[in-house]
Structures are given as C-alpha cells and as structure tokens.
Structure 1
Amino acid sequence: MDGRTTIRVVAWSAITGSLVAFCALVLFDWMIPGEVSIAPAISGDIVVVVEGAVATPGLVQLPAGSRLQAAVEAAGGFASNADASGLNLAARIGDGEHITISAMPTLATPSDGGNGTPADFASSLININTSGVSELDQLPGVGPVIAQRIVDYRETNGPFDSIEELDEIDGISEEMVEELRPLVTAGE
C-alpha cells in the first residue's frame, strides 16, 4: 500500500470507530432511567356524604387522601348505637363517596319488666322472611346493600327455610351468619 491509501484507511477507521463509540454512548445513556418524580394524583379537598349512625350526618369536606376515620370524626363521631365492627377505619376515601354507618340492632325487651318468655324474645327477632330493607339494615354488618340483596334473594327464591341460607347471599359469610343467628329468625 502506498502512503495515501494507508492514511485514508486509518482516517476512515478513526471516523467509523468514533461514530460507533458515540452511538454506543447515546444508546447507553438513553437506556439508563433518569430521575422519576411522582406527583400526587389528587390535590385539594374532597366532599363525601356520611350518614347513618353518626352524630351529625351530611356532607363533609376533607383533604384529599383522607381516611374513613376522618370522615366519621368530621360527621361528629359515631352515635352511641353505631356498629363499627365491619368498618376499615384506615381505608382511604375518594371524592363523592357515600358512606353509611350501620346501627346496632335494638332488641325489644318484654314490656312487663319480667324475665320474658321465649315468645317475648322471639317477637324481638328480625324475621328475614318478612322484614324490609330498613329493618334488615339495622342488623350488625348488614348495610342497605346487603339488606337489599336479602330481600332480592327472598323474592327470587322464596322464603328462607333456615338462617343458614343467608350465606348464599353475596357479602354474607358463614361467620356473619353465626353473628346474626341470635338476632334473626326464619320462622313465621
């Protein structure tokens, strides 16, 4: 090879090598993730409806990202008859939610002030075959949605033969059936 050809080969090799190195650096830099910043999804205030067994039911305004506990406190706290057993007070709530706090069922006491007979006690039970949504809603852990499911199930399948049939309803577990057993009846 003569001198000029050698210089051309060396020059083209240098240019090609530089171009490959530059492309590799750009590609490598592009593949490394940069700084990621996550902004809060929601800012400002939210408004929710809190009703049922709270001191002052109604609309409450809270900071975005608030939890159920804050909504209950903003509504004046739980009423004395509130059933908080099925609530996750740490759950985050969103704008426009409708929160219903169920009340504990009230069992009627015999009016004569005596010990009461089994008939007196049975009359204070909530009959799952005849009660409407408002009565069923008073049971612990049963809100208006599950109460409506009980009524719908009864209208579709006929009267309940036993309390155990309640566990066929979406939202009612076997444990919940056991909690409801002393409070309800399927009899007439």
Structure 2
Amino acid sequence: MWEEEWTLREKKLAAAVGGLILLFIGVIIYFWTSDKPAEPAMTPYRPPADTAQAKEKKEKEKEEQPKELVVDVKGEVKQPGVYRFSPEDRVAEAVRKAGGPKKKADMERVNLAQPLSDGMALYIPAEGEEIPESIGEATDAGKSGESGDAPAIDVNTATLEELQELNGIGPSKAEAIISYREENGPFTSVDQLTEVSGIGEKTLEQLREQVKVN
C-alpha cells in the first residue's frame, strides 16, 4: 500500500477551493440575514402641543381650586352657622346642610344653582325683608356675600382689607394681588387677574362683577 503525496500545486488548488466555499457560504448568510426587515426604533409618544397646553391649564386650575370651602350660612335657615363644603357644591347644598329654609324664607330671591366660594357669606332673606348692606343675598345675579348695589372695587388701589371683601379672596390671595401690582405695575384689565398666583378662570368669573380696573 502506498501513500499518495500531494504536490505543491494540488495543495494550493485545494486551499483556493476551500476559500471559495467559505466565501460562498458567507455570501449566502449575508443575503439571508439582510432579507429580514429591520425593527423600527421605538420613539416616545409626544402629545400635540395644544393638547399638552390644555392639560397643563387644567392641572393648574385644579391646583388653584381649594380642596374645601368654608361658608357662613345666615338668615332664614333652620340651623345657621359656618359649614364646610366640597368645591363643586352649590347654594342648594348649603341651604340643605343648614337644615333647610324656614317657612318665611323668600327662596324666589335665592339662586340655588350658584357655585359656592371660600369665605362666602350666604344670606337667605325672609319675604319682604330688606337685605343688610353688609351681608347681601344669593340672587340670580350671583352676588352672594355682598350688596347688590355695592360699587366695584378697583384692584389697582384696593387695600388688603377691601380685597378680602371679594368672594373667594382670602388673606393669601389678597396679598398676592397686591404683590403682583407692586412687581408688575397696575392691572390693565380684569382678565389679567389670572396671572396672579392662586386665581384661575373659575375665581375670575366670581370676581368679574365685583372688580374694575382704572
């Protein structure tokens, strides 16, 4: 038995064939893997600008809204006194919580659908009664806690005490109004009050008929 020996030429040829085979396999693997579609990159969702602004505004108004309202219920109710309410409660809930109206209460002059505000003095009048100027009544005009004929307060000149007479304005908001006008100059419109910390659109609507800008 004899052992066959490869010549140098045969060895080179075998090496070349082996290289071609490896190259062919590599090409097949490349095209096989390149046929698979690339997975799209995940990008974070960003809401439209107007939606984001509306959400931010809603959250701001929610933060400005007091978590609890304290209202002084007076006049022709069975249990006058100071009561606590949720921000969404109305005059009807205040009357109910105070035991309901007395028989001589003039409920035709009371706007039961009016929203309550923090620090509000709700006066339920008797039939034919003249409302005390210092108290006022819950009328259809929505001026609970003030006289229906009371002049509007100028927010550019009002004192701390005068500002606190407004519905929904306590000591902290009154101080914020004064600080704002000292830092930014006089108010040019009533709508500018929303730029004051703690005053949102809801509070502004309660103030609109009570204030003015000169």
- TM-score computed with the length of structure 1 as normaliser: 0.40
- TM-score computed with the length of structure 2 as normaliser: 0.36
Q: If you compute each CA radius of gyration, which structure gives the higher value, 1 or 2? A: 2
